[in-house]
Amino acid sequence: MAHFTKATSMHDWLNQRLGVDTLNRVLATEYWIPKNINFLWAMGMILAITFGILLVSGIFLLMYYQPNVNLAFDSVNYTIMQEVGYGWLWRHVHGVAASVVFLIIYIHMFTGIYYGSYKKGREMIWISGMLLFVAFSAEAFSGYMLPWGQMSYWAGMVITNLFSGGSLHADGLVEWIRGDYVPAQAYLNRFFMLHVLLIPVAIMGLIGLHFGALRIPHVNNQDGEEIDFDVESKKYLAGDTKNSKVIRFMNDFLAKDMMVVGIYLVFFFYLVFFHYDFAMDPVNFDPADGLKTPTHIYPEWYFLWSYEILRPFSTNVGLIAFAFAQVIFVMLPFLDRSPNTVPASRRGLFKYWFWAMLIDMIVLTAMGKVPPIEPFGTIGFYAALTFIGLWIALPFITKFEKKV
């Protein structure tokens, strides 16, 4: 057992038992971050804060929500939105945050792709990040079921149907997932459980893994420069903060993070109070009705690109393309054969690959929402082919990339 002395202060008392000084040093004051970064490096903090907002608002909503097919819709739209003090605020915050979190995730992802932050020891950061993306997607989908509106019901119907695997006709699997022949009480209950317990717990675990994965390879920087963190941190600690290439996590990096977070929150709360419709589809304000299919069924905007990879093909081909789209991003560190960890702008063909991928995904997103009429059907079809083609081309164009 360790030797304890009479504490001289509250701080000392805690320090002897928890090692708060060491913790503070390791996690904050001597956790070194490169100085050469821009505001895109704050997206992680924005995501953490948005997740916090989702968690807190979700806890408030959970106190009044009723996971029952007869009560769910009114518990959201009447009890929470009208009876409970500020219930409307929590719901709008939760709904808007659920949508905005994906915007930030995509910015975060494309930042990583642009700067090559998934390479040379940073593979686990990328993989844990993609697992987080999958978990957030499942969280968003299960949460979308809960108001039990028309879009909840029919999106649930469509997405669970995917598990029948087209010609495989695995209808038993679909029934097993639903707990019924159609989305009903058993279905709502299990998605409620997934949304408020299992997936959030998984997300929190994955966030821990994601942070942990950063520790050894360190955060990347704007020029992909390999920094000797030992040398640079010594320089910093010796007082040469201006010439050191690294900064402390706290307060240096945090101060910049909070500046970006502050500006982000202005944007976020503007959406919550004055422009929330994009995140709260009007169709879902009609109660679920299994006998009335809505004219248009479409997922929320952040799933549209993968939906459009499914839609333009015949059932089986579409499902295979869809499955491909779901897993391919995880493989990025292994499909990129280039030795360079530098911004895409300095990487030859990859530069074009990056912008083509970004634009193609925006085109897919747009085509995933409009009705499948011409010319949208054709545009969507070629955009889906382009998506697949770009991934197939990636190992080849990166293999022949010149070392910079």
Partner 1 sequence: MKELFILAIVTTFTLVTYYLVEPFAHSHMHKHHESEHFAYKDLPALTKKGDVARGKDLVMGAGACTGCHGIKVAGLSAPMDAVSSAAAYGVNPPDLSNVGVVFDPKFLASVINNPAHALMLEHKYNAKSGKTFPMPQFYGAGGDKSQEVADMVAYLQSIAVPEEKLTPNMAFETACGRCHAIHYEYNLNGKMHPAWTQIGETPKFKHTQDKLAFEMNVANYNDSLIKYLGKLPPDLSMYIRSRGEHFISTFVENPQQYLKGTAMPRVGVTAEAAEKVITHLQDVGDSKRHKRESVGKNVMIYIIIFAIFAILWKKQVWKELH
384 binds partner 1 (CB under 8 A): no
**3-class SS at 225?**
coil
Q: Give the C-alpha separation, 320 to 326, whole Å.
A: 10
Say how many residues touch partner 1, by CB under 8 A: 54
The residue type found at 387 is: F
107 binds partner 1 (CB under 8 A): yes
- Decide: 404 and 367 in contact? Cβ < 8 Å: no
Q: Go through 149-166 and write b for each residue having 16 or more CB atoms within 10 A of its CB, e for each that does not.
A: bbbbbbbbbebbebbbbe
Q: Which is nearer to partner 1, 3 or 242 (CB)?
A: 242
Q: Which is nearer to partner 1, 299 or 333 (CB)?
A: 299
Single out the segment in contact with partner 1 by CB under 8 A; choices: 12-20, 52-60, 226-234, 264-272.
264-272
Single out the segment in contact with partner 1 by CB under 8 A; choices: 32-40, 138-146, 185-193, 339-347.
32-40
Looking at 266, 314, 374, 402, which residue binds partner 1 (CB under 8 A)? 266
Q: Which is nearer to partner 1, 89 or 393 (CB)?
A: 89
Instruction: Look at the chain and count its residues.
Output: 404
How far, in whole angstroms, is CA 162 from its chain's centroid? 22
101 binds partner 1 (CB under 8 A): no
* Segment 321 to 380, residues that bind partner 1, using CB under 8 A: 358, 362, 365-366, 369-371, 373, 376
Looking at 242, 314, 375, 402, which residue binds partner 1 (CB under 8 A)? 242
Burial class (CB in 10 A: 0-12, 13-18, 19+), 61: buried
Single out the segment in contact with partner 1 by CB under 8 A; choices: 9-17, 153-161, 269-277, 392-400.
269-277
Q: Which is nearer to partner 1, 177 or 298 (CB)?
A: 298
- Among all chains, which residue has been given the structure tokens 């009114």? 74
Q: Give the C-alpha separation, 331 to 394, whole Å.
A: 11
The nearest distance, CB 51 to partner 1, in angstroms, is 18
The nearest distance, CB 308 to partner 1, in angstroms, is 11
Looking at 22, 82, 293, 345, which residue binds partner 1 (CB under 8 A)? 82
The residues pairing with 33 across neighbouring beta strands, listed in sequence order, are: 247
Q: Which is nearer to partner 1, 66 or 160 (CB)?
A: 66
Q: Which is nearer to partner 1, 170 or 370 (CB)?
A: 370
Phi-psi region of 343 (alpha: psi -120 to 50; beta: other; left: phi over 0): beta
8 binds partner 1 (CB under 8 A): no
Q: Give the C-alpha separation, 60 to 71, whole Å.
A: 18
88 binds partner 1 (CB under 8 A): yes
The nearest distance, CB 374 to partner 1, in angstroms, is 12
What mask, x for binding partner 1 by CB under 8 A, covers residues 271 to 310? -xxx---x-x-xxxxxx-------xx----x--x------
Half-sphere exposure of 398 (CA within 13 A, CB side): 24
Q: Give the C-alpha separation, 213 to 222, whole Å.
A: 19
- Decide: 291 and 154 in contact? Cβ < 8 Å: no
258 binds partner 1 (CB under 8 A): yes
Single out the segment in contact with partner 1 by CB under 8 A; choices: 36-44, 51-59, 152-160, 202-210.
36-44
Q: Give the C-alpha separation, 129 to 117, whole Å.
A: 11
Looking at 12, 123, 175, 252, which residue binds partner 1 (CB under 8 A)? 252
Looking at 77, 128, 221, 233, which residue binds partner 1 (CB under 8 A)? 77
Q: What is the CA radius of gyration of the chain?
A: 24
Burial class (CB in 10 A: 0-12, 13-18, 19+), 146: buried
- 341 Cβ neighbours under 8 A, 6+ residues apart: 116, 117, 119, 120, 220, 224, 226
**Strand bridging mode 246-248 / 32-34:** antiparallel
The nearest distance, CB 269 to partner 1, in angstroms, is 5
Q: Which is nearer to partner 1, 172 or 239 (CB)?
A: 239
∠ CA(281), CA(286), CA(287), 5° rounding?
125
Q: Which chain residues interact with partner 1 by CB under 8 A?
A: 35, 38-40, 74, 77-78, 81-82, 88-89, 92, 103, 107, 241-242, 247, 251-252, 255-256, 258-259, 261-263, 265-266, 269-270, 272-274, 278, 280, 282-287, 295-296, 301, 304, 358, 362, 365-366, 369-371, 373, 376
